[in-house]
């Protein structure tokens, strides 16, 4: 049995949970999320805690047990605190701006790149720092990956869009490589 799946999830104050048929609804101050869960699992709420268990010990149920417990915990955290990813623009003339629910990136192409924010997702821009915020961890991560894919960091100068905590492995250029071979 999954060690993570056995752990109960504490419900913070102000968070409500509804389970109907095979859909779990989590409501909180930041919004509402819902997720369909497989019939191999049993989800119950008691004493302010959510407990995920399996109906029958099958390989599929064992595989899903810990995964769905983590997904539900992420939903609870999302509607109570929210999720955010921070990105950084590195490069001369690279900028970002928010216009309505669109993010407009100027990152060295002949045209600005526009990224539309899905429901419950917000963008914040401060100079070269960009923050993606929302209640659904999966969507926040997906949008952040789409933004990074517009101009991924390159290994020679490190220019591009990178995650705030990401370390770029740098390569030596032709001149540095030639100087190393001559010595």
Range of the domain at 141: 83-163
Residues 70, 100 share a domain: no
175 in any annotated domain: no
CATH code at position 9: 3.90.930.12
In a domain, residue 180? The reply is: no
Please check whether residue 121 lies inside any domain of the structure: yes
Residue 138 host element (H or E): helix 137-150
Same domain, 91 and 147: yes
Same-domain status, 93 and 74: no
Instruction: Give 27-78 pLDDT, tens digit per residue.
Output: 999 999 999 988 888 888 888 888 888 888 888 888 888 888 899 999 999 9
pTM for the model: 0.85
* Residue-wise DSSP of 53-119: EESS--HHHHHHHHHHHHHHHHHHHHHHT-EEEEEEEESTT-EEEEETTEEEEESSSSS-EEEE--T
Tally of domains within the chain: 2
Shortest CA distance to 130 belongs to which of 109, 111, 150? Answer: 150
Positions of the chain with pLDDT under 70: 1-2, 180-183
Query: Are 88 and 35 in a shared domain?
Result: no
Q: Same domain, yes or no, for 155 and 97?
A: yes
Tokens for 180, please give them: 């190393």
DSSP 136: -
């Amino acid at each position: 049995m999954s060690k993570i799946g056995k752990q109960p999830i504490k419900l913070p104050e102000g968070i409500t949970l509804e389970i109907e048929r095979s859909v779990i609804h989590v409501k909180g101050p930041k919004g509402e999320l819902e997720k369909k869960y497989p019939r191999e699992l049993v989800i119950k709420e008691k004493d302010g805690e959510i407990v995920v268990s399996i109906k029958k010990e099958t390989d599929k149920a064992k595989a899903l047990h810990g995964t769905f417990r983590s997904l539900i915990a992420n939903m609870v955290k999302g509607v109570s605190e929210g999720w955010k990813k921070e990105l950084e623009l590195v490069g001369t003339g690279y900028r970002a701006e928010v216009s309505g629910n669109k993010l407009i990136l100027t990152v060295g192409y002949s045209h600005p790149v526009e990224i539309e924010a899905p429901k419950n997702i917000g963008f914040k821009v401060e100079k070269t720092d960009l923050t993606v915020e929302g209640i659904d961890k999966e969507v926040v991560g997906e949008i952040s990956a789409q933004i990074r894919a517009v101009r991924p960091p390159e290994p020679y100068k490190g220019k591009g869009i990178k995650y705030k905590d990401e370390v770029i492995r740098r390569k030596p250029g032709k001149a540095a490589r030639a100087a190393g071979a001559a010595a």
